[in-house]
Amino acid sequence: MSGDFLPLPPSILPSSNAGADETIKAAAADPVDPAYRKKANEAALKFESFFIAQMLHKMRDSTRTLAADDSPNKSSVHDDMLDMADNLVADQLANRRAFGVADVLLRQLLPAAPAAPAHPLPAAVDKKPPTA
C-alpha cells in the first residue's frame, strides 16, 4: 500500500531544492501529473460507485420496510445477493458516469486546461466607421 500515496505538487516544494527548477518547468508544461490524474480519476469513480450503491441500498431498505409481512421483498434470504447485485449495478453506472458525481469531483481536484479561443481573430481587421 506504500505506492498508493499521491505525489506532492511542485508548488509546495521548498525553493532550496536543487531540482526544483526542473520540476517547476516540467509542471508548467503539463499542469497535472499523469499518475495523479489517473489516481484522481479512479478515486472519483470509486466515490461515485459508493454513492450510487448507498442510494440503491437505501431504496431497497425502504421497499423492505414498506412491504407487507407476507411479501417476498420482506424476506431476508437473498439480501446478500441483492446487495452484491446493487454494488455491481453501481459500478456499471459509475463507469458510465451516469450521475456525474465523478465529473464534479474531478473538476474540483484537477485544474482546468487553458481554454483556446472558440473563433480565432484575424490578424488585421479593417474597421470602417459607418457612413451616414
Q: Are 62 and 8 in contact (CB under 8 A)?
A: no
> Count H helices, E strands: the chain?
4, 0
Evaluate whether 74 touches 63 at the Cβ level (below 8 Å): no
8 A C-beta contact, residue 46 and residue 29: no
Band of residue 100 on the pLDDT scale cut at 50, 70, 90: very high
CA-closest candidate to residue 49, choices 83, 81, 89, 80: 89
- Give the model's pLDDT for residue 124: 53
More confidently predicted of 36 and 25: 36
Q: C-alpha cell of 87?
A: 454494488
Q: Is residue 125's pLDDT more than 90?
A: no
pLDDT the model gives residue 75: 72
Residue range 103-109: mean pLDDT, rounded = 92
Judged against a pLDDT cut of 60, whether residue 22 lies above it is answered with: no
- pTM of the predicted model as reported, rounded to 2 decimal places: 0.59
Residues in the chain: 132
Most confident of 23-32, 71-80, 113-122: 71-80
Average pLDDT rounded to a whole number, residues 26-47: 82
